[in-house]
Amino acid sequence: MFRPPLPPPELRELAINTIRMLAIDAVEKADSGHPGFPMGAAPYAFTLWYRYLRFNPQDPAWPNRDRFILSAGHGSMLLYALLHLNGFLPLEEIRQFRQFGSKTPGHPEQQLTPGVETTTGPLGQGFANGVGMAIAAKMAAARYNTAEHKIIDHYIYGIVSDGDLMEGVSAEAASLAGHLQLGNLIYFYDDNHISIEGPTELTFTEDRAARFRAYNWHVIEIDGNDCEAAARAIEEAQAETSRPSLIIARTVIGYGAPHKANTAEVHGAPLGKEEVKATKENLGWPQEPLFYVPDEVRQLFAERVAQLQQDYADWQREYAAWAAAEPKLAAQYEAAKRKELPHDLEEQLLAALPKPNATRRLSGVVMQRIAELVPYLVGGAADLAPSTSTWLEASPQFAPGSWEGRNLRFGVREHAMGAIANGIALYGGFIPFTATFLVFADYMRPPIRLANLMKQQVIHIFTHDSIFLGEDGPTHQPVEQLASLRLIPGMTVIRPADGPEVAAAWAYALRHREGPTALILTRQSVPAIERETPLSFEAFNRGAYIVSQTPDREPDVVIVATGSELQLGVAAKSALEGEGYAVRLVSMPSRELFERQDARFQQMLIPDQARKVVIEAAVRFGWADIVGRDALMITQDDFGHSAPYKVLAEKLGFTGEQVARRVLSWLRGI
């Protein structure tokens, strides 16, 4: 890769001030935004983008591009200014900063803006996403590079802020990145000493450099306004191959603003007309026109983009030579990029099922077959692989010297695990999975929300799915977590009842590319459900289907159940039929899939004229939207207790006999 020398000081300063002024003018026009961070970070950001970052604005998804993450997403105008100057965005989009329908929203959004690698804003998430991208890059290089040809040899860069480093998710992710020796990860830390409330020393006085050295990071400290120092730091970081690097850049927030620089006032509000005028005077910038880009600056960036086009062409030739020399490897690479799946995936997973067991154990067996069929499935658990049955037995652990490994040991780091999985998904060519107990979905909600916002395919395995995990007690027994996950727009939650539903759930999750899927699995064993006809994958994918029903009669009552409680519905149906009622038993493994169906299907499956019963060992929130407020809710609307699960079932009314008796009494009005 050709690296141009830094421009002469005058031209360099002109380019840096162009970045600053685009940010100032955009924030001022929008009357909203964060101008101070872009003003301070512009020198080292310019150095990175102009001399080192590899990209192609004509092909933003080029696989061997360097990734750049603005984890400090509130400073989005820094990124948008760089994207404009490098040919990703027209100037009109800069003028429309933070306006409805523009590609320059208040925080970077991955699906919206070309050149934006991940959606950032919630601080720390981008930091952890970058760790995931670095892991994926290591995996890809180990799988596809050969001694003769390297098609994956890029870096993951980012800019992080004080706020990022204060958030716990960054601590988790940094710890894991250092442990994994991710030498392809290079972050700038914009150390400007200011947060929204005032100086960072109000709350943040630890030695950050020492902290990251303790994480096994390579730490460099520079003057962030010194482009030569930034260049030397980047090259030193690139030379360090066995540790991630943190370049601590001491900057002045709001650099150039005579009255607001180095104050909290410039952090999250426009400078104001008078301060804008004074800043432009101070930096020798014309007052008009707004959004001014000098011709020399346009030419400077255009020449750099042209050089990068040559790098892109060189890589294309390298790729062609590699593909010719390694046709099988190339076919695997292209299949992974497209996430190809066997046409008979569902049937193969169904055939892999063992005899009845806990759905977490059934899932574990199915996963071994998936590992054979889908070589780009990668992931791991939060120190819970034995409990969640998620270790891919035929693959080694991902670790230094074993970069091809598919098993990730996340440690007890659920928050980072979710965000790292998002980074792996964003990188492309892999389907990541995570695993932990359902109650700890609470720790993962921010990255799960962002995966839905970005429509990224991540499979979350949540086991120990109800009070029936037993003796660990209410601290570990989830009751509200199902409802909490179902609340997230776009989320697909699947709670299978037995082996065939587990196989169907996995098949759906692998085929569903437009967002994350949560598989909700039991700790305790569950019986095989007797169905009138074998499970139809088509019916399953509609979210609900008829398990059995009284023949030749319209149902008097429809029992809807999920997961391990479906067996209670079987018992209740038998008892009700013995009393002369016509009963339809419906399994609803996914409320979200059911709610995406048309009203005609929903009415056909759960007719208005029938009375309805819901059985689920979780809070009832949301069920009334499906079955109405007059339905009988056999749910768990309080925290659980510590006891063996069979004792809990009896004490809390979740045995087959108790459910049947309760439904009968309700139907009779007793």
| DSSP tag of 354 | -
Helices 441-454 and 414-427 pack at an angle, to 10 degrees, of 20
| DSSP letter for each residue of 579-611 | TT--EEEEE-S-HHHHHTS-HHHHHHHS-TTSE
User: How far apart are the C-alpha atoms of 557 and 550, rounded to whole Å?
Assistant: 10
| Catalytic residue list contains 235 | no
Asked if 562 contacts 616 with a C-beta cutoff of 8 angstroms, the reply is yes
The catalytic position among 109, 117, 167, 414 is 414
SS (H, E, C) 571-584: HHHHHHHHCCCCEE
Nearest to 420 by CA among 177, 661, 83, 637: 177
User: How far apart are the C-alpha atoms of 386 and 235, rounded to whole Å?
Assistant: 42
Q: Which two tokens stand for residue 280?
A: 């432009």
Residues with Cβ within 8 Å of 106's Cβ and at least 6 positions away in sequence, in order, are 32, 33, 74, 76, 98, 121
User: How far apart are the C-alpha atoms of 243 and 134, rounded to whole Å?
Assistant: 12
| DSSP letter for each residue of 515-559 | S-EEEE--SSB-PPPP-SSPPPHHHHTTT-EEEEE-TTS--SEEE
Q: Which two tokens stand for residue 552?
A: 């030749």
Q: Which two tokens stand for residue 581?
A: 């009622």
User: How far apart are the C-alpha atoms of 537 and 341, rounded to whole Å?
Assistant: 16
CA 52 to chain centre: 27
**Three-class DSSP category at 431:** strand
Nearest to 619 by CA among 481, 422, 463: 481
User: How far apart are the C-alpha atoms of 60 and 83, rounded to whole Å?
Assistant: 11
Pair type for strands 377-381 and 407-409: parallel
End-to-end CA, the chain:
80
What residues are labeled active site? Answer: 414
